């Protein structure tokens, strides 16, 4: 008798709402575009963590053939004062129509066909009450909303 392989289970733990400044074009060439988007604040709210996104971080993006590879680094101060470091890597891809809608200020939901905006955040902290963040794998479903980048973070069980 063989056991069926375990199926992954996701648990919603919190949402990050990062306020971002206009991106800065850095360059590259050919089929690539490198940019940096400063993170200037925001909030974290959910059943397992609440706090604020601290100003000073940012998101580096390399776009190749219509897909941006993202790497954001920033800090969160939890409601209890502990500081948590986040390295959030992921991918962003959208159809030309969705890009036009986003550029016009429309909020496009994360499940919109033609939009792929997914991340894999990794956390570091020495605060005992938040060690669970540094000991698990997470995935994020992202979207732009009200001028912020919003990431619903799920613990992968």
Q: Which domains does the chain have, with CATH numbers?
A: 10-156 (2.40.160.20)
Token code pair at residue 37: 């988007």
Q: What is the pLDDT of residue 71?
A: 98
Is there a contact between 57 and 40 (Cβ–Cβ < 8 Å)? no
Nearest to 22 by CA among 7, 40, 44: 40
On the question of pLDDT at 72 being above 70, the answer is: yes
Nearest to 85 by CA among 34, 35, 51, 37: 51
Q: How far apart are the first and last CA of the chain?
A: 25
Q: What are 35-70's pLDDT values in tens digits?
A: 999 999 999 999 999 999 999 999 999 999 899 999
Centre a 10 Å sphere on the Cβ of residue 32 and count the other Cβ atoms it contains. 12
Q: What are 131-149's pLDDT values in tens digits?
A: 999 999 999 999 999 889 9
Q: What is the pLDDT of residue 1?
A: 58
Of the chain, the percentage scoring pLDDT greater than 70 comes to: 99
Q: d(Cα 51, Cα 53) in Å, to the nearest integer?
A: 7
């Amino acid at each position: 008798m063989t056991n069926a392989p375990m199926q992954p289970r996701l648990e919603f733990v919190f949402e990050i709402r990062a306020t971002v400044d206009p991106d800065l074009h850095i360059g590259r060439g050919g089929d690539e575009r490198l940019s940096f988007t400063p993170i200037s604040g925001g909030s974290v709210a959910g059943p397992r963590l609440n706090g604020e996104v601290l100003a000073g971080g940012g998101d580096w993006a390399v776009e190749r053939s219509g897909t941006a590879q993202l790497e954001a680094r920033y800090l969160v101060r939890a409601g209890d004062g502990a500081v948590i470091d986040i390295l959030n890597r992921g991918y962003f891809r959208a159809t030309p129509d969705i890009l036009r809608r986003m550029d016009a200020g429309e909020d496009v939901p994360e499940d919109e066909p033609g939009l792929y905006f997914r991340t894999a955040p990794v956390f570091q902290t020495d605060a005992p009450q938040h060690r669970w963040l540094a000991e698990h794998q997470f995935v994020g479903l992202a979207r732009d909303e009200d001028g912020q980048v919003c990431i619903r973070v799920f613990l992968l069980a």
